[in-house]
Amino acid sequence: MTISWSMILGVIYAINLMTALFTVFRQRRDIAAMWAWLLVLLLLPVIGFIFYAFFGRQLPKNKLFKVDNTVQTRLDTILSEQRELLLEPDTSQHPVSRDIAGTMQLFMRANRAFLTRRNRVKLFTDGNSLFDAIIRDINAAQRNVNVEFYTFYNDEIGSAVLSALVARAKAGVTVRVIYDPWGSMGTYRRFFKPLIDAGGYVEPFLARSAILDFRLNFRNHRKIVVVDGEIGYVGGFNIGDQYLGCSKKFGHWRDTHIRIEGAAVFALQSRFVLDWNATSKKAKLADNYVDRDYFPVMAPKGLTSMQIVSSGPDSQLQQIKMGYIRLIQMAKKRLWIQSPYFIPDDGVIEALKIAIMSGVDVRIMVPSMPDHPFVYRATQHFCRDTAEIGAKIYYYGNGFLHAKTMLVDDEVASVGSANMDYRSFKLNFEVNAFLYDKEINTQLAALFEQDMAESTLITPEMFADQSLYLRFKQSVSRLLAPIL
């Protein structure tokens, strides 16, 4: 019997097919992701499996973020008190609507995200102003500074932040830093040696380096700073010169971050400590840290009510996505969204369609330039789909839009690290602030309108005029959306 090349290729394809089916179906994942991975594994034999080894494997959820009994008891007590508080009027503000109260309950049940009232919040859209404030607060720290970023680059602003942390560590302040090794590619551990030598602690999130991290899909995308348990920062900015608008490629960098004073800092501190104890092997925080300097009792600072909500691949609930869907469903007048990536899954798409067809003013703003080609083409595909049913799509033209914000009607908003895409919903570790405050909503709306002046409204007719080749690239990218 003569063995031909066609027979050999047929056997290889059959083995590849069976292996692909076993690989994809042996782990629980949603249907869209399963089909996307099957497409990759079947169209790219061998290479597809290498790609899967780095990007497709899931995390051991039972080994992450174990909460000690002391922390859990206190969080449960606060959560119970907050549920009761929802039934009582807040004398500092008008009573919340049933929709808002339901949203608060959702986050309490899905994420143990307790409600905090009377926080003071300041918005930042410029990286220079933001990092001036962060460094100023670090310089004033007396007890502890906790820093967690997806990107911590070894450049001018990275060195400036590190110098401030080193100075406080030398002054006896406890300093801890978590950075994502993939997001901080090019920043090596030796960059942090001055801080370690000064008595600070530095850990790459869940891996020693990007090269040795064989689960590249699961990134710590959070951006958190907590100073003395009293001041917190959360939002979209990372630490790097490009986030100050210094990049030749991107130019002006448009992002949104918030500075918080008040009880909501408790939640950011809790999030950092959980991440630290999941990451650190030798310098975990003690069980009794809850009752020490990390969580001071604070008097009311302002008028903003908020919940800090986190999500990640350690949970099946996709809490931030659930929050986005809830806010979309709540919208009666306006729903304004900013995100550098707009690749929503079917649940979010259906919620958006209902809002648009119900007469809600839905506006979606994305960058006019790509930073990831496939992701950008997939974003264009979904923008075209939503434009065709009535959404107003804006391409931001004054540099790169990196803000992740959502405004609903007059009183609810979200600011954080989570994009409107599959990756933020399921694969990344994210954190958002959901704010219930008419004044903050008004400020964010004014910023959105300013950004509209720097943007181009892309109509359905303009999408229809796109070339067949561009539409083809968008459609192919859309097929890969669940794993981008």
d(CA 51, CA 451) in angstroms, rounded, equals: 38
Catalytic residues: 221, 223, 228, 402, 404, 409
Question: Which residue type occupies 481?
Answer: A
d(CA 104, CA 434) in angstroms, rounded, equals: 9
Which of 374, 359, 468 is closest to 421 using CA atoms? 374
Contact in structure between 424 and 219 (CB atoms under 8 Å)? no
CA distances (Å), 345 to each of 149, 254, 327, 332, 351, in order?
A: 26, 25, 16, 22, 10
User: Tokens in use for 24?
Assistant: 């994809």
Contacts of 35 (CB under 8 A, 6+ apart): 482
d(CA 22, CA 13) in angstroms, rounded, equals: 14
Q: What is the DSSP string of 435-450?
A: EE-HHHHHHHHHHHHH
Residue 136 CB burial class (10 angstroms; 0-12, 13-18, ≥19) = exposed
